[in-house]
Homo-oligomer: A and B are copies of this chain.
Amino acid sequence: MADTVLFEFLHTEMVAELWAHDPDPGPGGQKMSLSVLEGMGFRVGRALGERLPRETLAFREELDVLKFLCKDLWVAVFQKQMDSLRTNHQGTYVLQDNSFPLLLPMASGLQYLEEAPKFLAFTCGLLRGALCTLGIESVVTASVAALPICKFQVVIPKS
């Protein structure tokens, strides 16, 4: 029962802890905390990626890998699938979650929007880490226009 919420509780505590002891509460300090969270997410994503069933490593198309993240990875971490996936077919993907679990505890509306980035950094790292394990370097950012809807943008530079 409790294991499905354990990740969310732990994530909340990590965010709170990083902000509580932030030596520099200004924009510079915020940026450092976000970067720390993103790094933790990256390493967890990479470790999770290594636990993925071996057949997933045979993906040929980038799009297949992204679909896999939207479905299998999201279910493993958040017990739900991503709501939509769009791409410009030039290496940019937009993954949309209409009720992103880590934003749900916040009241909806505009007044908490500025708090949103700290609840997204870990997951950006998680996506980047899982992609890294699957052999894809990427840049992942997130944006929120209205809580609890969240868009993750994955940009895969062409080599």
Contacts and interface: CB of A to CB of B under 8 A. Distances in A.
Nearest to A20: B36
A1 B53 contact: yes
Nearest to A7: B6
Copies held by the complex = 2
Interface string A68-102: 00001100110100000000000000000000000
Interface in A1-53: 1-7, 9-11, 13-14, 17, 21, 36, 40, 43-44, 47-48, 51-53
A43 B44 CA distance: 22
Nearest to A43: B13
B10 A44 contact: yes
B6 A48 contact: yes
Nearest first, the 8 closest Cβ-Cβ pairs linking A and B are A2-B76, A13-B40, A9-B44, A2-B48, A9-B47, A3-B76, A10-B10, A6-B7
